[in-house]
A = this chain, B = another copy of it.
Amino acid sequence: MVVSRDVIRLTPGGIETLNLTLQHQSHQLEGTHQVAVELEMNAIAFGEVAKTLGALKIGATLSVKGFLSQKNRYSNMPILHITQFKMLNES
């Protein structure tokens, strides 16, 4: 679920970029235990993905694919780079 979203900006190279915060809730199997998982994650998207995500409403739910990377050289906080997504509910 999209819980916050910045405005679309341009990189120095002129590519659209969007920062957003996603919230995830699920149950996952760990050994034989079902565990409740909650996570809030900073995410970033570029180009066409950024443009489409930039039109989403807060509260929209989506399924995303991509990869994790370090936010920057000064922080070991991971940020999710969204390279593909599927809308689940536009809220």
Contact = CB atoms under 8 A, between A and B. Distances in A.
Each complex incorporates copies of this chain amounting to 2
A29 interface: yes
A90 interface: no
A88 interface: no
User: Which applies to chain A's interface (DSSP): helix, strand, loop or mixed?
Assistant: strand
A54 interface: no
Interface string A32-63: 01010111110000111100000000000000
A48 B68 contact: no
Contact of A69 (B29, B31, B39): B39
5 closest cross-chain pairs (CB), A and B? A31-B47, A37-B69, A28-B67, A40-B76, A39-B70
Interface of A: 15, 26, 28-31, 33, 35, 37-41, 46-49, 67-70, 76-78, 81, 83
